Amino acid sequence: ALTSVSVQAATDNSAINKIQETGELRVCFEAGYVPFEMKAKNGQFIGFDIDIARHMARSMKVKFVPVNTAWDGIIPALQTGKCEVIIGGMTVTPLRNLQVLFSDPYLEIGQTVLLSPELKGVVKSYRDLNDPKYTISSQLGTTGAEAAQKYLPKATLNLFETSADAALQVKNGKADAFVYDLPYNAIYAAEHKDSVFHLNTPFTYEPLGWAVRHDSVTFVNFLNNYLKRIKGDGTYQRIYSKWFES
Ligand code: ARG
């Protein structure tokens, strides 16, 4: 029976096939995206996405295998088979959707601004940053970088491999503002009260989804039904509260 499943599987469900063959759910993410995925002091990966991924693997009775990947190379990592799914707070964008399939959104967020405290009261909206005298930082390959390019084309934009390095620019006075996802900025602002000011009204609309390869249509069906189930049975809320409401 297994053989016939694999023969059919080779054409349209390589992800599900691979998960069943290996007994592993390999998940790509980029640790450092608080509170979705972080590396704890003991080396363990923790966070909202990690808890969902672990629960997802358990629901399939397979092993969860974390694959920590640079954000800039995360879609190539999926495409070349280093993992079967990206669970990494990835915004569903039309351009990405030409490269990968997305599950239904599991969270909706938007871009906000972490401002240098000196600009508090001077820069009242992200729009005020569209000026050649300002320097903006964000993370390479993110929708934050994209939003800065689109809405703040007159400012200087400096991009960094990690969000931590990009946010640090503002804290160190090397950038006037950091453009990034709201949940990350909210936590960063709470932890660095004196060195950044959060303009916390989101100025983009961004659904976040789980990404799989184009040949994994059957896996998308699994993911959407899994999402529906955890939203209905309280699992999603429990994990959400743990990371976003404490
Ligand atoms: N939502 C943003 C994007 O899709 C940022 C995601 C960053 N995620 C991460 N794991 N570093 O571009």
Q: Which ligand 1 atom is the nearest neighbour of the CA of 141?
A: 12
Mutate to test the pocket of ligand 1, among 29, 33, 97, 203 (most ligand atoms within 8 A of CB): 33
Name the band, by pLDDT with cuts 50, 70 and 90, for residue 4.
low
- Separation of alpha carbons 95 and 42, rounded Å: 37
H/E stretch holding 28: strand 24-29
CA 48 / ligand 1 centre spacing (Å) = 13
CA 101 / ligand 1 centre spacing (Å) = 16
Q: Are 69 and 85 in contact (CB under 8 A)?
A: no
Q: Which residues contact 36 (CB under 8 A, 6 or more apart)?
A: 29, 47, 48, 49, 50, 88, 89, 183, 243
CATH number of the domain at 2-108+206-244, please? 3.40.190.10
Name the band, by pLDDT with cuts 50, 70 and 90, for residue 2.
low
Q: Which ligand 1 atom is the nearest neighbour of the CA of 96?
A: 4
CATH superfamily of 111-199: Periplasmic binding protein-like II (3.40.190.10)
- Ligand 1 lining (C-beta closer than 6 Å): 29-30, 33, 37, 71, 88-91, 142-143, 181
Answer whether 2-108+206-244 and 111-199 agree in fold. Answer: yes
CA 8 / ligand 1 centre spacing (Å) = 34
pLDDT at 135: 98
Number of H helices and number of E strands within the chain? 10, 14
CA 59 / ligand 1 centre spacing (Å) = 25
Q: Mind listing the pLDDT tens digit for each residue in 57-109?
A: 999 999 999 999 999 999 999 999 999 999 999 999 999 999 999 999 999 99
In the chain, domain spans: 2-108+206-244, 111-199
Q: Mind listing the pLDDT tens digit for each residue in 96-128?
A: 999 999 999 999 999 999 999 999 999 999 999
Q: Which of 197, 182, 205 is nearest to 105 (CA)?
A: 205
CB-count exposure of residue 234 (10 Å: 0-12, 13-18, 19+): exposed
CA 151 / ligand 1 centre spacing (Å) = 18
Q: Please check the confidence at residue 5 and state whether its pLDDT lies above 70.
A: no
Longest dimension (CA), the chain: 68
Q: Mind listing the pLDDT tens digit for each residue in 7-35?
A: 544 444 589 999 999 999 999 999 999 99
pLDDT at 246: 73
